Copies of this chain bind each other. A is one copy, B any other.
Amino acid sequence: MCRWMAWSGQPLIIEELLFKPPHGLVEQSLHSNMGVETTNGDGFGLGWYGDGEGPAIYRSIAPAWGDANLRELAAHVESSLFLAHIRATTGTAIQQTNCHPFRHGRWLFVHNGVVNGFHEMRRDLMLAVDPSLFPAIEGSTDSEVVFHLALSFGLDDDPIGAVERAIGFVEATAERHGVDNPVQASMGLSDGERLWAFRYSTEGRSRTLFSSSDAAAIRRLHPENERLQRLQDEDRVVVSEPLADLPGVWERIEESTVLVIQPGPDEHHPFRPRAPAQAAAI
């Protein structure tokens, strides 16, 4: 499967989170503790909002731990909202167009998990993608198709609902194909302003996903930790597995919920996939 992380908060040199913590994402590419695979070496990607128009993405098929360019970028790019992803393929080709984040306009999307039965359902799922979006599918992953289903089902107007419809549509398709437990997913999504962190699986046993606690609480808990003392109130990290073993710093995102990180108070919502009415008829 994969691992991912996201940052929303004060502008940060990316390596502060990607390389410097004891169990940062790049370290996880070699030694993941909580993932299905220990090694996530089938490429990686970094997407960030900053200078220039729209989000930037840097994706490579090299393992994250060994890519000299990732080390350079992380040390020299500053961003107040970024997502990073390390990949362990579940069978599809190792190529840049299969690396996360996927991008459409201002949107970035990452996925850890799998669509079981994707090989046999791929055609049906791709047919449900809006024909105007179909040519934008460049790779061959389940994740990219899920993202394009969400785009097709109204991501711009109703992000959570669109992802619920996308996942619901995958589940409805799986039922027709006789595929059990089709969806296993922790997903990150951003439009550059807000950051959504979804945790869901059909069987209700999803991959781990954590967010950092309230910054003020973290500062109180760890008065001696310089790095943590620099956290500001709006700073928030989302991670597949904790970046360090520090009590009180990480909160588990619950099954079948989505965390919305945004200016002002963040929000927790239930996440209840259901197929869209029109698509169910396909």
Residue ranges of A at the interface with B (Cβ–Cβ < 8 Å): 13, 15, 30-31, 38-39, 41-42, 48, 50-53, 56-63, 65-66, 68-69, 72-73, 75-78, 89, 92-97, 119-120, 122-123, 126-127, 131, 134-135, 137-140
Contact = CB atoms under 8 A, between A and B. Distances in A.
Contacts of A126: 126
Given A75-B52, A131-B123, A140-B138, A66 B89 contact: yes
A119 B134 CA distance: 9
A168 to B, nearest CB: 22
Contacts of A135: 119-120, 122-123
Complex copy number for this chain: 4
Nearest to A68: B96
A122 B132 CA distance: 11
Nearest to A75: B52
A41 B38 contact: no
Given A39-B41, A58-B69, A122-B135, A77 B52 contact: yes
Contacts of A96: 68, 93, 95
Nearest to A67: B94
Given A93-B96, A135-B122, A66 B52 contact: no
